[in-house]
Amino acid sequence: AQKVTQAQTEISVVEKEDVTLDCVYETRDTTYYLFWYKQPPSGELVFLIRRNSFDEQNEISGRYSWNFQKSTSSFNFTITASQVVDSAVYFCALDSSNTGKLIFGQGTTLQVKP
Amino acid sequence: DGGITQSPKYLFRKEGQNVTLSCEQNLNHDAMYWYRQDPGQGLRLIYYSQIVNDFQKGDIAEGYSVSREKKESFPLTVTSAQKNPTAFYLCASRWGNTNTEAFFGQGTRLTVV
């Protein structure tokens, strides 16, 4: 069975702090894809990044960075120098190439205070 | 502009009534999905369809039904059998089995009154 766990329900930081959102996944497939999405108050999910199971290179995009570790089944997301506009709900998701299902975690609500 | 359109944005339903949520996409995507979002439970998959005239149950399909008669449309019916339908419903679409990112609509908030 596939499962995504985001253990942090809510995180509150002060602007300019760094923050890491955790994501742990479970799958028996050898080929799979991991995603991060951002959900602002408007409700529509916005795609941030996709990673396949064969590429463990970390990725950096501006203030965002992602750490993928197969050994611990984790795909963590770090925001450096957080800003108020980063306040949103963040979702981690898992897709198995065998089923076409796209499974999401419970989400982490990030509040960045000025 | 290409995208996914969900309508209506807000929907009120009386207990015992069926209601249909609309989802239309003009992205030429093969796969479409319906999710339910409740506080603290994230997004839970209701139904998904990878091709026209075919769909599969997700993790919480009971009390819901769907159809996929056209590639661009994937309506969701919340039936009276769904015991707790009040929630935020999100529709998504993406290219077939290529594991690409999904595009989401703006959601429909359903309230049972």
Q: How far apart are CA B89 and CA B110, in angstroms?
A: 7
Record: contact A42-B106, CB cut-off 8 A: yes
| pLDDT tens track for A13-36 | 999 999 999 999 999 988 899 999
pLDDT on residue B57: 95
Name the E strands within chain A.
3-5, 10-14, 19-21, 24-26, 32-39, 46-52, 59-61, 64-69, 74-79, 88-96, 102-104, 108-113
Residue A41: closest C-alpha in chain B: B106
pLDDT on residue A97: 63
Phi and psi (nearest 5°) for A86?
-80, -10
Tell me, what amino acid is at B28? N
More confident residue, A98 or A42: A42
What is the count of residue pairs from A and B with beta carbons less than 8 Å apart? 59
Percent of chain B with pLDDT over 90: 81
More confident residue, A17 or A100: A17
Assess whether pLDDT exceeds 90 at residue B2.
no
* pLDDT-based confidence at residue B1 (cuts at 50, 70, 90): low
Q: Looking at the DSSP assignment, which residues form a beta bridge with residue B7?
A: B22
| pLDDT tens track for A30-79 | 889 999 999 998 889 999 999 989 888 888 889 999 999 999 999 999 99
pLDDT on residue A21: 98
pLDDT on residue B97: 64
Record: contact B107-A106, CB cut-off 8 A: no
More confident residue, A38 or B99: A38
Q: Would you tell me which residues 55-94 of chain A have a C-beta closer than 8 angstroms to some C-beta of chain B?
A: 91
